[in-house]
Structure 1
Amino acid sequence: MDYAIWTLTVLLLLAGLVGSVVPLLPGTTLIFAGVLLHKLLLPASVSTAAVVWIGVFWLGSVVADFGCTLLGARLFGGSKWGLTGAGGGALVGMFFSLPALLLGTVLGAVAAEKLLGKRTDHEALKSGLGAALGFLVSAIVRAAFAAAMVALFAYSALTFATPAAG
Structure 2
Amino acid sequence: MSIALLWSLVVLLMLVGLAGTVLPVLPGTALIFAGAWLGAWIDGYERVGVYTVVVLGVMAVLAWALDYLAGLMGARRVGASPQALVGAAIGTVAGLLAGFVGVLFMPFVGAAAGEYLARRDEQRAMQVGLATGLGLLLGMVAKVAIAFAMVGLFVVAWLV
**Taking structure 2 as the reference length, what is the TM-score of the superposition?**
0.90
Once the two structures are overlaid, the 10-residue window that deviates more, 127-136 or 57-66, is: 57-66
What CA distance in whole angstroms lies between the structure 1 residues aligned with 2:134 and 2:100? 14
What CA distance in whole angstroms lies between the structure 2 residues aligned with 1:97 and 1:48? 36
Do 1:85 and 1:109's aligned partners in 2 also have CA atoms closer than 8 Å? Answer: yes
- Quote the RMSD (CA, aligned, Å): 1.5
Do 2:108 and 2:133's aligned partners in 1 also have CA atoms closer than 8 Å? Answer: yes
Q: 2:110 aligns with which of 86, 108, 111?
A: 108
Q: Which residue of 1 aligns with 2:36?
A: 35
- Unaligned 5+ residue runs, structure 2? none
Deviation at 1:69, TM superposition (A): 1.5
Once the two structures are overlaid, the 10-residue window that deviates more, 127-136 or 74-83, is: 74-83
Q: Which residue of 1 aligns with 2:73?
A: 71
Deviation at 1:138, TM superposition (A): 0.3
Q: Which residue of 1 aligns with 2:15?
A: 14
What CA distance in whole angstroms lies between the structure 2 residues aligned with 1:65 and 1:107? 17
Do 1:94 and 1:101's aligned partners in 2 also have CA atoms closer than 8 Å? Answer: yes
CA-to-partner distance for each residue in 1:100-133, whole Å, 9 max, x for gaps? 2221111111112222x23411111111111100
Q: Which residue of 1 aligns with 2:148?
A: 147
AA partner of residue 143 (structure 1)? V
Q: Kindly indicate whether residue 97 of structure 2 is the aligned counterpart of residue 95 of structure 1.
A: yes
Secondary structure at 1:154 match in 2 = helix
Do 1:77 and 1:126's aligned partners in 2 also have CA atoms closer than 8 Å? Answer: no
What CA distance in whole angstroms lies between the structure 1 residues aligned with 2:99 and 2:67? 17
What CA distance in whole angstroms lies between the structure 1 residues aligned with 2:158 and 2:120? 54
CA-to-partner distance for each residue in 1:65-92, whole Å, 9 max, x for gaps? 2332111111122122111111211211
What CA distance in whole angstroms lies between the structure 2 residues aligned with 1:90 and 1:30? 21
Once the two structures are overlaid, the 10-residue window that deviates more, 75-84 or 40-49, is: 40-49
AA partner of residue 111 (structure 1)? A
Deviation at 1:45, TM superposition (A): 4.3
- Unaligned 5+ residue runs, structure 1? 160-166
Q: Which residue of 1 aligns with 2:119?
A: 118
Q: What is the number of equivalent residue pairs in this alignment?
A: 158
What CA distance in whole angstroms lies between the structure 1 residues aligned with 2:86 and 2:34? 29
AA partner of residue 4 (structure 1)? L
Do 2:20 and 2:29's aligned partners in 1 also have CA atoms closer than 8 Å? Answer: yes
What CA distance in whole angstroms lies between the structure 1 residues aligned with 2:15 and 2:121? 44
